[in-house]
Structure formats: structure tokens, C-alpha cells
Structure 1
């Protein structure tokens, strides 16, 4: 029920991708993020492209792999989303 409250206010996958990137100290690649948030690779790429347009993530090409990392703005947004998510998890359903 509480997770439903979080999903009511946020699009789940983009929020989870930002949180997953925040948790890791190093840059990640798309297929790993897709597995972490339980979505397809193509869906993760579309989300990441949108996040890049907002300046929340940056791509870095390393050989054949594109690494993804949070920008400073992305870090701030991810921290805010995590705080809100934690608040929802501490709610008690009446």
C-alpha cells in the first residue's frame, strides 16, 4: 500500500534509475541499470535519454560501452526522490 503511494506521485522507473545511480559510487552502463530497476534495455535507454535532456545524467563513451553517471543536478534530484521515498516507506496505512 505504501509503495502504491510512492508510485502515485512518481513515475516508478525513472525515479528508480536515478536512485540506483545515486547508490553506486561509479558510473554504470544501461543494461545493468535496466536489470536493477526491472525494465527492458530499450525502455531504460528511452528513460536515460529523457534524463539526459533534463541535465540529470551524462553519458561517457568508454570503448564500446556508454557509461552513465549522475550530474550534480541529477545527484540533488536523486537525493530528494530518495528522501520522499523513505518518507512514504515510514507511513502507516490507516
Structure 2
């Protein structure tokens, strides 16, 4: 089994990659940009992000009409562990 395939056995790809994309960004992100980066629909990305917000992994900040998304300290730790596990697989 390829590394990429085994990673997806243990983790749901899109939520994990959203966290990693946020971690690898130097600035706060928009939901639409994250959705494109991880190749999912905007509505699916929003559902994932709302669940992450409930679990205190991300925060939303409204700037005019736009909401930006950033990792919390807990979200950053989870994203770091995801990246490390992915490297091991």
C-alpha cells in the first residue's frame, strides 16, 4: 500500500489536510481557499471547520463580510502530530 493510501486508512483526508494547510500558512485563511486547497466543496469545508471550532481547534474572526480562520494552540498541536504521522507512513 502506498504511503498516501495508508495515511487515509487512519485519518479522514480532508479534515486532516485542512488543519495541516492552516498550520503551513503564515496568515489567517478563508474557507473558500481552504476548500480549493484540499479539493472539497465549500459547504463540506465549512461543516468540517464548524466541527473543528466546536472542538476548539480553529477560531473564526469576522472581518467585514469575510470570516478568516486560524488555528488555536490545540489545533496547531494536532496539525503538527498529523504531519509527523504522515511522514512516518
Task: Give the TM-score range, shorter chain.
Answer: over 0.9
Q: Which residue of 1 aligns with 2:80?
A: 79
Deviation for aligned residue 1:55 = 0.3
Alignment of 1:51-70 (within 5 A): 51-70=52-71
- Runs ≥4 residues deviating over 6 A: none
Give the aligned length.
Answer: 88
Alignment of 1:25-36 (within 5 A): 25-36=26-37
Q: Over aligned residue pairs, what C-alpha RMSD do you find?
A: 0.5
TM-score norm. by structure 1 comes to 0.92
Measure, in 1, the Cα distance between the counterparts of 2:51 and 2:87: 25
Deviation for aligned residue 1:87 = 1.0
Bigger CA radius of gyration: 1
What SS does structure 1 have at the residue aligned with 2:70?
Answer: strand
Structure 2, unpaired ranges of 5+: none
Measure, in 2, the Cα distance between the counterparts of 1:63 and 1:82: 33
Measure, in 2, the Cα distance between the counterparts of 1:57 and 1:82: 17
